[in-house]
């Protein structure tokens, strides 16, 4: 697939952010086109989560620019990101354990009726989307603390998918899932991609990345090692980039 | 639609083997509420027997409810504070400062500044408005220090406990101030009652509202195809609620105003009591205010965005932030609300005592926190109910009044209250462990 001539959905240019002395993200540039799945790879602590948190509004970048649909975007908090139709599935899931699935799904965007939150409507909508994403899901009236890891994950995924995301960030979305559920997430990614949604996918499993992604960015120690087209490289090439922190000779050209 | 079918299938599967837990689940009865009600009833029964029936008399019930009001009102606000994973140790001192400001307003500042006479309605209105504003502002200041400056609420409000207690002292020069404005006394209890007709009207209106809310919610659930309680259960629950409301109103309406007091009331108007004339207390205005506060706070907690965000933040502050909730501003609002309720409690407490004393609200912060905790509010945050806190306050006050009536010394009363606090939390922990509830 060629992106030439198209406007990128998202461009993160020269992003830097430091915590104390640690340069968590150090002059990183990545982009994402409509209908594209772009992987972010790297060891723990490479800066992947920190980078996407600058896009989702959770962190405030120290330097760099973010462009959405070719226009400069000011993203200072999670609400700004939502306004740009950027939805995020966080590695930590970011669920309020004491609330039920529907309250979590609609948190910050409650459905209202006569000025009051309409729990029945929200539960009905949650049942609908869960019926599509995870038909086995039954615990609609329990706090999410009572759910299994996979069920919690599906609540987090449902929350990102429900609100018509244009840009979807998935930070290790299959970390808590078994093989069957992982396959369901893979199918979902294909489906969303077909709808023209752009997806940043952070995943430790190189197989998943090779299967689902069009391009992959590799990070190490906060720096971007390189960006490759997935169909032009092998698993070993990418592993080499992750471990050694440099592009293989035959791609470096 | 298939999920709805599944759901009803699942519940009918369970029906033959209805365990205790699943029966309570279908009826959507809160076990903790049931436990607290049982504890409360036990206290009432025990002291009624022990006092030979005096405890349950309308006069005593009237007094207990009136004495419960200030702590219960503040406990409603404390639920939100604790749910947000904070604490407010300054509420007793805040109450004192609000009380001092209001007392000075009605006795000296307003009359001399505007040349108003005692009894002028402007004194009443201005005193209340200023008192509530002061309380809200002090609460907001606490919230700003906690929410924006990230100073732990324990520290800010521990400091507040010292500061406001002594600001109160300076405002009145350490003197007691009696309530000169007669209108202000109506918040106190016996001086401000609705009488029989108005009390029954309020009771009937409240009953109608309760029935409407229950069935509107049922209809809304049905319209989305959800399983609802069986009709008999809904009916029984409604009957219990309406019955309780009307019994309470009826009981307080049996409490007659003493003859001597009636005579004085008529004399004040230059009249004489007609032959055979009697009057009853009925609902005190202060209790009505508490009921209003509790209802509004319950709606806020469960049906508004503000309440939803308080609970979401208490459950996981990060998730609330990432969902775009402005948790700092939320903190300011929660403490401001707490301050507002402290001022309201101050208005009622000083009216009941008919004066502002230096030690008003002393140690009240501990009772307020205890009421919230006995009522099931978890200090870890995220969990708590308004009705629980009100019941908690009522349980503590009933215990204390009952013990006082049977001649238990004050120090021992306090020991019992302390034991009850610990036991309530202990029982809750054991229950949760047995039921496998993690949070
Ligand atoms: N809020 C924070 N405060 C301090 N250091 C942080 C914070 N968030 C991330 N870091 C640091 O930034 C680096 C990158 O972390 P992260 O983005 O989570 O890596 P990854 O997601 O690739 O595993 C790590 O060294 C981490 O300790
Ligand atoms: Mg990470």
pLDDT of residue A1 exceeding 60: no
Residues B247 and B225 in one domain: yes
Does ligand 1 lie within 6 Å of residue A103's CB atom? no
How far is the C-alpha of B306 from the C-alpha of B297, rounded, in Å?
11
Give the residue whose CA is nearest to atom 5 of ligand 1: A19
pLDDT of residue A253 exceeding 60: no
Assigned domain for B303 exists: no
B312 interface with A at CB cutoff 8 Å: yes
Q: Where are the domains of chain A?
A: 1-85+166-253, 99-163
B206 is in which domain, residue-wise? 193-283
Residues B130 and B56 in one domain: yes
Burial class of residue B264 in the structure, from the number of CB atoms within 10 Å of its CB (0-12 exposed, 13-18 middle, 19+ buried): exposed
Q: In degrees rounded to 5, what are phi and psi of residue B206?
A: -65, -40
- A232 pLDDT band, cuts 50/70/90, is very high
Q: Do B439 and A98 count as a contact with CB atoms less than 8 A apart?
A: yes
pTM: 0.92
Report helix, strand or coil for A38: strand
Q: Do B318 and A94 count as a contact with CB atoms less than 8 A apart?
A: yes
Q: What DSSP designation does B4 have?
A: H
How far is the C-alpha of B332 from the C-alpha of B309, rounded, in Å?
13
Distance A172 CA to ligand 1 centre (A): 15
Domain's final residue, options B242, B263, B283: B283
From 3.40.50.300, 3.40.1350.10, 3.40.50.150, 1.20.120.1200, which CATH number describes the A1-85+166-253 domain? 3.40.50.300
Assigned domain for B408 exists: yes
Only one residue has tokens 């990101």, namely A81
Assigned domain for B13 exists: no
Assigned domain for B54 exists: yes
Please report the pLDDT score of residue B104 as a whole number. Answer: 95
Please report the pLDDT score of residue B221 as a whole number. Answer: 87
Length of chain A: 253
Assigned domain for B410 exists: yes
Q: Which residue has the higher pLDDT, A251 or B79?
A: B79
Please report the pLDDT score of residue B17 as a whole number. Answer: 40
- Cα–Cα nearest to B181, from B131, B121, B134: B121
Pairing mode, if any, of strands B355-356 and B177-178?
Answer: antiparallel
Q: Do A58 and B322 count as a contact with CB atoms less than 8 A apart?
A: yes
How far is the C-alpha of B291 from the C-alpha of B72, rounded, in Å?
10
B426's torsion region: left (phi>0), alpha (psi -120 to 50) or beta?
A: alpha
Residues B128 and B217 in one domain: no
Hey, what long-range contacts does B302-309 have (CB within 8 A, 24 or more apart)?
A: B303/A116, B303/A117, B304/A115, B304/A116, B304/A117, B305/A110, B305/A112, B305/A117, B306/B330, B306/B333, B307/B80, B308/A99, B308/A103, B308/A107, B308/A110, B308/A117, B309/A108
Pairing mode, if any, of strands A112-113 and A116-117?
Answer: antiparallel
Provide Rg for chain A, Cα atoms.
Answer: 18
Please report the pLDDT score of residue B25 as a whole number. Answer: 65
Provide Rg for chain B, Cα atoms.
Answer: 23
Domain's final residue, options B283, B300, B328: B283
- Cα–Cα nearest to A191, from A171, A146, A161, A216: A161
Assigned domain for B439 exists: no
Residues B136 and B217 in one domain: no
Residues B110 and B248 in one domain: no
Helices of type H across B148-230: 153-172, 195-223
Length of chain B: 439
Cα–Cα distances in Å, from A205 out to A172, A223, A246, B264, B427?
A: 9, 20, 19, 87, 47
Q: Are B194 and B285 in contact (CB under 8 A)?
A: yes
Distance in Å, alpha carbon of A174 to nearest chain B alpha carbon: 19
Burial code (b: 16+ CB inside 10 Å, e: under 16) for A10-42 equals bbbeebbbeeeeebbbbebebbbbbbbbbbbbb
Q: Are B179 and B103 in contact (CB under 8 A)?
A: yes
Q: Do B439 and A104 count as a contact with CB atoms less than 8 A apart?
A: no
Residues B175 and B201 in one domain: no
Please report the pLDDT score of residue B437 as a whole number. Answer: 64
How far is the C-alpha of A65 from the C-alpha of A40, rounded, in Å?
19
CA angle A133, A138, A140 (to 5 degrees): 95
- Taking CB atoms and an 8 Å cutoff, what residues of chain A touch B14? none
Residues B166 and B51 in one domain: yes
- Cα–Cα nearest to B193, from B142, B139, B265: B265
How far is the C-alpha of B88 from the C-alpha of B108, rounded, in Å?
31
Please report the pLDDT score of residue B302 as a whole number. Answer: 95
Q: Give how many domains chain B has, as a whole number.
A: 2
Please report the pLDDT score of residue B37 as a whole number. Answer: 92
User: Over its length of 439 residues, how does chain B's per-residue pLDDT go in tens digits?
Assistant: 333 333 333 333 333 344 455 666 666 677 888 889 999 999 999 999 999 999 999 999 999 999 999 999 999 999 999 999 999 999 999 999 999 999 999 999 998 888 888 888 999 999 999 999 999 999 999 999 999 999 999 999 999 999 999 999 999 999 999 998 889 999 988 888 898 999 999 999 999 999 999 999 899 889 888 888 889 889 999 999 999 999 999 999 999 998 888 888 888 888 888 888 888 999 999 999 999 999 999 999 999 999 999 999 999 999 999 999 999 999 999 999 999 999 999 999 999 999 999 999 999 999 999 999 999 999 999 999 999 999 999 999 999 999 999 999 999 999 998 999 899 888 888 887 887 665 4
User: Model ipTM?
Assistant: 0.92
Assigned domain for B266 exists: yes
Q: In degrees rounded to 5, what are phi and psi of residue A186?
A: -60, -45
How far is the C-alpha of B284 from the C-alpha of B198, rounded, in Å?
11
Q: What does B312-357 look like in DSSP terms, one character per residue?
A: HHHH-HHHHHHTT--HHHHHHHHHHHHHHHHHHHHHHHHHHHTEE-
Does ligand 1 lie within 6 Å of residue A34's CB atom? no
- Taking CB atoms and an 8 Å cutoff, what residues of chain B touch A84? none
């Amino acid at each position: 697939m060629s992106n030439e001539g198209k406007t990128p959905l998202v461009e993160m240019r020269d992003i830097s952010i430091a915590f104390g002395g640690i340069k968590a993200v150090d002059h990183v540039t990545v982009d994402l086109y409509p209908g594209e799945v772009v992987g972010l790879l790297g060891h723990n602590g490479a800066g992947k989560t920190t980078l996407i948190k600058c896009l989702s509004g959770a962190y405030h970048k120290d330097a760099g620019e973010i462009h959405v649909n070719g226009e400069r975007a000011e993203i200072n908090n999670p609400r700004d990101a939502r306004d740009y139709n950027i939805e995020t599935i966080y590695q930590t899931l970011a669920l309020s354990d004491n609330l039920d699935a529907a309250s979590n799904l609609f948190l910050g965007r409650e459905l209202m009726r006569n000025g009051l939150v309409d729990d029945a409507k929200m539960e009905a909508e949650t049942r609908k989307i869960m019926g599509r994403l995870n038909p086995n899901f039954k615990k609609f009236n329990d706090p999410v603390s009572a759910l299994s890891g996979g069920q919690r994950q599906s609540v987090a995924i449902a929350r990102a998918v429900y609100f018509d995301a244009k840009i979807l960030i998935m930070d290790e979305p299959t970390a808590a899932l078994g093989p069957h559920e992982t396959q369901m997430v893979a199918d979902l990614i294909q489906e969303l991609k077909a709808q023209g949604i752009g997806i940043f996918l952070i995943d430790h499993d190189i197989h998943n990345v090779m299967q689902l992604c069009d391009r992959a960015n590799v990070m190490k120690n906060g720096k971007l090692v390189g960006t490759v087209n997935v169909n032009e490289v092998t698993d070993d090439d990418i592993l080499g980039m992750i471990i050694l922190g440099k592009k293989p000779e035959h791609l470096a050209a | 639609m298939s999920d709805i079918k599944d759901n009803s299938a699942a519940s009918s599967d369970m029906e033959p083997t209805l365990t205790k837990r699943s029966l309570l689940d279908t009826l959507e009865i809160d076990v903790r509420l049931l436990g607290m009600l049982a504890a409360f009833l036990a206290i009432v029964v025990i002291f009624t027997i022990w006092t030979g029936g005096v405890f349950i008399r309308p006069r005593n019930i009237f007094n207990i409810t009136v004495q419960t009001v200030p702590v219960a009102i503040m406990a409603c606000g404390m639920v939100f504070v604790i749910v947000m994973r904070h604490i407010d140790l300054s509420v007793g001192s805040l109450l004192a400062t609000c009380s001092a400001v209001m007392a000075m307003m009605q006795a000296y500042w307003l009359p001399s500044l505007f040349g108003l006479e005692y009894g002028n309605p402007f004194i009443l209105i201005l005193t209340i408005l200023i008192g509530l504003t002061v309380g809200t502002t002090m609460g907001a200041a606490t919230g700003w220090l906690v929410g924006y400056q990230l100073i732990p609420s324990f520290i800010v409000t521990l400091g507040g406990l010292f500061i406001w207690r002594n600001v109160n002292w300076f405002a009145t020069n350490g003197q007691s101030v009696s309530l000169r404005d007669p209108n202000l006394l109506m918040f106190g209890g016996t001086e401000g009652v609705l009488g029989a007709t108005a009390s029954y009207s309020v009771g009937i209106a409240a009953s109608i509202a309760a029935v409407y809310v229950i069935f509107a919610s049922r209809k809304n659930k049905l319209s989305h195809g959800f399983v609802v309680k069986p009709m008999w259960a809904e009916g029984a629950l409604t009957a219990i609620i309406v019955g309780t409301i009307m019994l309470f109103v009826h009981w307080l309406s049996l409490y007659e105003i003493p003859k001597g007091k009636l005579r004085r009331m008529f004399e004040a108007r230059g009249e004489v009591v007609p032959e055979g004339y009697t009057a009853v207390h009925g609902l005190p205005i202060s209790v009505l205010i508490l009921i209003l506060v509790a209802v509004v706070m319950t709606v806020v907690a469960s049906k508004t965005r503000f309440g939803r965000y308080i609970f979401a933040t208490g459950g996981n502050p990060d998730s609330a932030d990432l969902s775009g909730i402005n948790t700092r501003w939320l903190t300011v609002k929660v403490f401001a609300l707490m301050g507002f309720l402290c001022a309201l409690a101050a208005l009622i407490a000083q009216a009941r005592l008919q004066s502002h004393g230096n030690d008003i609200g002393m140690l009240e912060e501990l009772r307020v926190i205890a009421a919230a905790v006995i009522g099931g509010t978890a200090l870890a945050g995220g969990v708590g109910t308004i009705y629980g806190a009100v019941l908690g306050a009522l349980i503590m006050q009933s215990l204390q009044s009952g013990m006082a009536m049977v001649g238990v010394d004050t120090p021992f009363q306090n020991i019992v209250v302390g034991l009850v606090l610990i036991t309530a939390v202990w029982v809750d922990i054991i229950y949760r462990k047995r039921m496998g509830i993690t949070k």
